[in-house]
């Protein structure tokens, strides 16, 4: 059985400062058995999100800014709705308009 949550992390978010925040979140994510994947090239989050859905993850959580969220949503939309995981957002980018618009807390630990 696969873990319930997949965290897709953009290490370049917020001009590379996202690493520090993600490091602080690791114990929380580990406590719930979440699995991490980091992006290494543009559109990688799209691929990782699609793969997570195909692997049966119940939740896919984007850690980054609006660009990361956009890529993750694009990946999730590539799978049938019946197999699509719930989207989560942890706003650790320089632009977090989507997270703000849907009421996600600004503090990364509260958002997770």
Closest residue by Cα to residue 92 from 56, 57, 68: 68
pLDDT tens figures, 49-98? 999 999 999 999 999 999 999 999 999 999 999 999 999 999 998 889 99
* Catalytic one of 24, 66, 97, 109: 66
CATH code at 75? 3.40.50.10330
pLDDT tens figures, 15-56? 777 878 888 888 888 888 899 999 999 999 999 999 999 999
Active site residue 66: yes
The residues with which 5 forms a beta bridge, in sequence order, are 59
Count Cβ atoms below 10 Å from residue 106 Cβ, excluding itself. Answer: 11
Domain that residue 77 falls in: 5-111
With contact defined as beta carbons under 8 Å apart, do 76 and 50 qualify?
yes
pTM for the full model? 0.90
- Position 3 scores a pLDDT of 64
Give backbone dihedrals phi and psi of 19, rounded to 5 degrees, phi first.
-55, -45
Total domains in the fold of the chain: 1
d(CA 40, CA 21): 18
Structural tokens at position 109: 């630990």
Q: How far apart are the first and last CA of the chain?
A: 22
């Amino acid at each position: 059985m696969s873990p319930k949550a997949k965290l897709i992390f953009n290490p370049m978010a917020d001009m590379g400062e996202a690493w520090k925040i993600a490091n602080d979140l690791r114990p929380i994510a580990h406590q719930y058995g979440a699995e991490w994947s980091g992006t290494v090239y543009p559109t990688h989050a799209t691929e990782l999100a699609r793969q997570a859905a195909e692997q049966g993850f119940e939740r896919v959580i984007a850690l980054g800014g609006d660009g990361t969220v956009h890529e993750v949503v694009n990946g999730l939309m590539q799978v049938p709705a019946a197999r699509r995981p719930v989207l989560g957002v942890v706003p650790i980018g320089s632009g977090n308009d989507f997270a703000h618009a849907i009421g996600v807390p600004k503090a990364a630990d509260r958002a997770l």
